[in-house]
Amino acid sequence: METPSLKSGQRDIWLNGDDKSLLNQCEVDTYRASGPGGQKRNKTSSAVRLRHLPSGIIVISEDSRSQHENKAWALKRLRRDLCLGLRENIPEPFVLPSKFSGLISPTGISVSVKNENFFPLCGVILDLFENQQGRVSHVGIVLGISTGQTSDFLTSEKHLLDQANRIRRRFGHPLLR
C-alpha cells in the first residue's frame, strides 16, 4: 500500500488543533469490546473507533473499560498515525521547522517518545526520508548528523521503524533492524 501524499502543511493543520476539532473531523463509533475485563466490559459500549474522514485513517482503542479514556487513547493514536502514515512533499532546499530545531544537533536527535513533538518530528523526518528515496545516509547529511544517529532514530520506536521500512522496501533497499 502506497503512503498517501498531502499538500504541504495539511498534516500540521490537522495536528495543531485541539482534541475537539480533531474529533469533529472523525466519524466516531462505540461498540462492546470482546475479551477479558469482566461483566462490565461485556455490557457497556466502551471501545472506540475513530475514522478520520479527510485522511481515511482508522484507529481503535479497547484498552479501558471507560469510553472517555478509550476516546483519549484513540485520539493519541490518530495523531501518531497522521504523523507516521501521511507524507508531505518537502520544499527544496529542506529547512527543518523551527519548533524542532532544538531537538537535532551534531550529537544526534534527542527527543523522547513521550515528548509531544516526537511524532510530528517523525513525520517531518519520514517526509525527508521519502524525498531521499529511503537513503539513511542522505537524510543524515541533510539533518547534519551521522548515518548511525539517523538510523538510531529511525529504529527507536516500533511504528516509526515500520514506516521507515515501508519506504525502504518501496525503493528496493534492505530493511532497517
- Using CA atoms, how far apart are residues 56 and 26, in angstroms rounded to an integer? 9
- Using CA atoms, how far apart are residues 117 and 121, in angstroms rounded to an integer? 6
Pair 96, 72 in one domain: no
Asked if residue 35 has pLDDT above 90, the reply is: no
Pair 98, 57 in one domain: no
In angstroms, how far apart are the furthest CA atoms of the chain? 58
Q: What is the pLDDT of residue 175?
A: 97
Bridge partners (DSSP) of residue 109 are 104
- Using CA atoms, how far apart are residues 2 and 10, in angstroms rounded to an integer? 18
Residue 137: inside a domain: yes
What domain count does the chain have? 2
Q: Identify the domain boundary among 79, 102, 122.
A: 79
Sheet of 47-52: strand order equals 26-31, 47-52, 58-61
pLDDT in tens, 81-93: 999 999 999 888 8
- Using CA atoms, how far apart are residues 65 and 82, in angstroms rounded to an integer? 25
Q: Identify the domain boundary among 22, 56, 79.
A: 79
Asked if residue 42 has pLDDT above 60, the reply is: no
Residue 34 pLDDT grade (very low, low, confident, very high; cuts 50, 70, 90): confident
pLDDT in tens, 144-154: 999 999 999 99
> With contact defined as beta carbons under 8 Å apart, do 148 and 156 qualify?
no
Residue 176: inside a domain: no
Q: What is the pLDDT of residue 65?
A: 84
Full residue range of the structural domain in which residue 119 is found: 90-170
Residue 24: inside a domain: yes
pLDDT in tens, 121-175: 999 999 999 999 999 999 999 999 999 999 999 999 999 999 999 999 999 999 9
pTM for this structure?
0.88
Q: Are strands 5-6 and 87-88 parallel, antiparallel or unpaired?
A: parallel
Question: How does 12-28 read in b/e, with b if 16+ C-beta sit within 10 Å?
Answer: bebbeeeeeebbeebee
Q: Identify the domain boundary among 54, 79, 104.
A: 79
